[in-house]
A and B are shown apart, each in its own frame.
Chain A
Amino acid sequence: MRVHLDSEKCQGHNRCYALAPELFDVDDFGQAVLLVEGELPEELHGKARLAAANCPEYAIKIVEETRP
């Protein structure tokens, strides 16, 4: 699983930072910053889905692993 953040869509609701601080930080303006790159470890999948499911601006996308 990978997680993508569209910074253009982010309006700084800070829902992701509250729910998944392991994956998201916020900058001085309150805009989300993605802390991870590449494949997410299994134990963070739930948090990533939760962050995406609570972003009012649909700025977070989850890309599930495509099996070969």
Chain B
Amino acid sequence: MSVDETTTSPEPFEYVEPIFGDSPEGTHVWQRVPYNADDYGPVGDFATDFDHADPAYNPNAPAVWKQLRESGCPVAHSDRYGGMWVPITHDTVNEIAYDTENFTSRAVVVSVGRPGDLSLPAPIGGAPPITSDPPFHNMARRLLLPAFAPKKIEPWEPEIRLLCQRLLDDMGEITPGESIIDAAVQYAQHIPVNVIGRMLGFPEQDEELFRKFVHDVLERIAEEPGSRDGMDDLGKYILTQIAEHRENPRDDLTSYLLNVEIEGTPVDDEIAAGMIVLLLVAGIDTTWSAIGSSLWHLAQHPEDHQRLLDDPDVMTFALEEFLRSYAPVTMARMVAKDNDFHGCPMKKDDWVLLPFPAANRDPHQFEDADTFIVDRQENRHAAFGLGIHRCLGSNLARLELKVAIEEFTKRFPRYELAGDTRWSVGQIRGPRDLPVRILEVAD
């Protein structure tokens, strides 16, 4: 073996610089997974070479799931990212979501970096409670739940409505039949980032910063950890905001977090920062994607659009059907210990994707699963996950989605696609460019 080969072949699980912060215990030390996207190229067969970051995946995901199900593949596999399993059916997704013994949440975004044994952050994780396992999970979750309970979220409705109306006003003069606007870039993407920034009490002008952070965390998953410096910047930014809130406490979510206690001990800056990372990262791309996908659907289904205008009460059901059909969030787990999952030999530290959007299209769980039924009456969709990690912000997400659709469809009673929709890459699925031609503007 030549010297060159020994120096260039990567050591499996070689330690690299921490992605986000550091601590004497090595809490945030991540390992570089021996995976290079360039060695693989585009996916040929999703059953054996699954890659959710393949640019062809998100635009065609429902067809990929259908094909996997119909070919009798309830769990797909991939050697990418150091080894990854992908349950496709509702049953298998549900089973893994519930099994916190064999599957850990200490990493929930598949990438080329994963937490190592020495750094075992479980049961707390870097962004509690989404990265936490029992028993810490429940403690961390109960700190946040009251801030996101339905009755705490409902009062935000007028402010969200005004925000949506302002975004529509800012589009300027619209000429029906001619004007083309981008419903993702000019509308959807601004809503959640603005709302969570306000709730946290962060400066409004930092909206663009948050979006960059989120992009770095969720989309650039195949790049070298060191190049994803957005994570480092995010940590520093949040610690600055925390310091500022400690000095000037006020009535917002950040001050709330700094005041909560875990078993009589106030949370330290690190745990608070982790929770804020979660709220920023989890709340922005996700809701933006759901709004975008819903508007994408309505652009192609004027009959559903009309029904919403004629019968506003149908929104109760339509909202859940948008969430079922276009669920934006695929979560991930890591295998906690070797186990045989329905014949799949899962090894400790393998990745497991949890495609809740695929579970939502399983014909064994939903009648006419691939059909959007605007007033679907029976709808146990899993858009917000299943089990103990049910999306903490689901009530806020629902409210933003509902108000965003209502305001857009009222302002523009008819619109259609106008050019190519560009979809996101990675675990959060939704349109990133959504050009639409406005055909009618409300008086």
Contact = CB atoms under 8 A, between A and B. Distances in A.
A54 B378 contact: yes
Contact of A29 (B146, B384, B387): B146
A56 B386 contact: yes
Contact of B394 (A13, A27, A50, A54): A13
Given A30-B149, A54-B378, A56-B381, A11 B316 contact: no
Contact of B145 (A12, A13, A17, A50): A12
Contacts of B381: 56
B146 A13 contact: no
A55 interface: yes
B151 interface: yes
A37 B384 CA distance: 29
B390 A18 contact: no
Given A29-B146, A30-B395, A54 B390 contact: no
A54 B384 CA distance: 13
A18 B386 CA distance: 18
B142 interface: yes
A57 B146 contact: no
A56 B380 contact: yes
B179 interface: no
A26 interface: yes
A53 interface: yes
A13 B378 contact: no
Interface in A3-27: 11-15, 17-19, 26-27
Contacts of A19: 316
Interface of B is mostly: helix
A56 B142 CA distance: 20
Give the interface size class of chain A. Answer: 20 to 34
B36 interface: no
Contacts of B378: 53-54
A18 B150 CA distance: 9
Interface in B294-347: 316, 320
Q: Which of B146, B316, B378, B380 is most buried by chain A, counting CB atoms within 10 A of its CB?
A: B380
Contact of A14 (B380, B388, B394): B394
A17 B150 CA distance: 9
B382 interface: yes
B151 A26 contact: yes
Q: Which of A11, A17, A19, A50 is most buried by chain B, counting CB atoms within 10 A of its CB?
A: A11
Given A53-B380, A54-B379, A14 B146 contact: no
A28 B151 CA distance: 8
Nearest to B149: A30
A58 B94 CA distance: 12
Contacts of B316: 18-19
Nearest to A15: B320
Contact of B390 (A11, A26, A28): A11
Interface string B346-378: 000000000000000000000000000000011
Contacts of B379: 53-54
A57 B379 CA distance: 12
A11 B150 CA distance: 13
Given A30-B145, A53-B378, A14 B387 contact: no
Nearest to A55: B380
B377 A29 contact: no
A50 B377 CA distance: 7
Nearest to A46: B377
B390 A13 contact: yes
Nearest to A12: B390
Contacts of A53: 377-380
Contacts of B145: 12, 28-30
Interface string B373-409: 0000111111010111010001100000000000000
Given A11-B388, A28-B145, A56-B386, 15 more contacts: A12-B390, A12-B394, A18-B316, A26-B149, A29-B146, A30-B146, A30-B148, A53-B378, A53-B379, A54-B380, A55-B380, A56-B384, A57-B386, A57-B387, A58-B380
> Nearest 3 pairs between A and B by C-beta?
A11-B390, A53-B378, A30-B149
14 contacts: A11-B386, A13-B390, A17-B150, A19-B316, A26-B151, A28-B149, A29-B142, A30-B145, A30-B150, A54-B320, A54-B380, A55-B380, A56-B384, A56-B386
Interface of B: 142, 145-146, 148-151, 316, 320, 377-382, 384, 386-388, 390, 394-395
